Amino acid sequence: MATVKREAAPARPGEELATYLPWYRLMVLARRFEEEAERAFRRGKVGGYLHLYNGQEAVAAGWLAALRADDIFFTAYRDHAHAIFRGTEPRRIMAELFGKVTGVAKGKGGSMHIFDVARGFYGGYGIVGGHIPLATGAAYALRYLGTDRICLCFLGDGAMHSGSFHEPVNMAALWGREGLCPIVYVVENNQYAMGTSVERSTVVTELARKFDAYGIPSERIDGQDLLTVHETAQRVVRQVRERGAPYAVECLTYRFAGHGAADLFQPYRTREEVERWKQRDPILLLERRLREAGLLDDAQVAAIGQEAEAQVAEAVRFAEESPAPDPEELTRDVYTDPPSGFVP
Ligand SMILES: Cc1ncc(C[n+]2csc(CCOP(=O)(O)OP(=O)(O)O)c2C)c(N)n1
């Protein structure tokens, strides 16, 4: 298991910490959403597959808080929380899990393909590493079109060992030399790719170092502490926007649940290891800081939890009551019309 650099919590004025209260609420909401999604899966309500984000919330929350509303981002299949942090209504995400027409992808994508293009969320991909070339091309397009928008590409530790990581990252570095590739690769190193630990999949376990080979600056940070993630994100986002060149940050984190809903026994890791990481639950770490600053007490923590539960219960009700897609939906939006004269 990789070690985590623990930084002493710097003292901060309560005023500054207060800006993190809305993010605490959203992280609690995302956690409750995942817990309920798992229950719905066990009740047979969720079609396809389900991957939970429990334990990793500070990573997506910290990065998305640093983006501008017109910036864009891509991620893999552990994607519900990313949409919640970006402001997508939980009921539309739950409806997508339930395969309903009111879902973000009209019920055709399911858990692994949450999209909200209006909010700059370009998905949700089930093919490991498959989104990295897309995100890199999108970053190039943003600068080619003359904007100062940037692209974030979240990816897992496992995805870094695929060919679809190395080719686009090399291209990004070349384009970045001309100021044409404003992308941040955010590696969510939760230390496992299904049942394979980082130690068993690569000799160079400090994943940030892999970007050295392409001349892309990078760093590794504690992904459990929202403030560390957010402060890094603000600095990096500013720099990438200015220079139009790629940057990479490895966020060391941990997933509390199994790989997916079918991974019940997790023979590849010990219960003690999971418990040890739960001591560094990102929600509890943030809660502790907010309590110390006098910004949260027991009553508020309970109220925020209840509010999140009510919102998630409403999302489930909405998903249950929404209609299934019309069978004709099956072929709609699947292929664009071929250009005239096109020969497949
Ligand atoms: C191209 C491809 N190969 C294999 C798989 C099977 N698979 C699904 S998830 C996964 C592990 C990916 O791990 P990582 O990128 O670290 O993401 P995490 O699950 O840890 O968030 C694999 C190998 C896949 N979906 N796509």
Q: What is the pLDDT of residue 13?
A: 67
Distance 158 CA to ligand 1 centre (A): 6
Answer whether 156 contacts ligand 1 (Cβ < 6 A): yes
3-state secondary structure of 51: coil
Answer whether 9 contacts ligand 1 (Cβ < 6 A): no
The pTM for the full model equals 0.94
Best of 74, 75, 113, 128 for a ligand 1 pocket test (most atoms within 8 Å of beta carbon): 128
Answer whether 78 contacts ligand 1 (Cβ < 6 A): yes
How does 23-55 read in b/e, with b if 16+ C-beta sit within 10 Å?
bbebbbbbbbbbbbbbebbeeebbeeebbbbbb
Tell which residue, 274, 277, 254, 278, has the closest CA to residue 265: 274
DSSP 8-state symbol, 185: E
Structure tokens at 85: 């942090």
Q: Which tens digits make up the pLDDT trace of 98-122?
A: 999 999 999 999 999 999 999 999 9
Answer whether 157 contacts ligand 1 (Cβ < 6 A): yes
Q: Which tens digits make up the pLDDT trace of 169-195?
A: 999 999 999 999 999 999 999 999 999
Q: Vertex 267, ends 249 and 36: CA angle to 5°?
A: 70
Alpha helix ranges (H) inside 43-150:
57-65, 80-85, 90-97, 131-144
What single letter denotes the amino acid at residue 21? L
Percent of all residues in the chain with a pLDDT value above 70, rounded to a whole number: 94
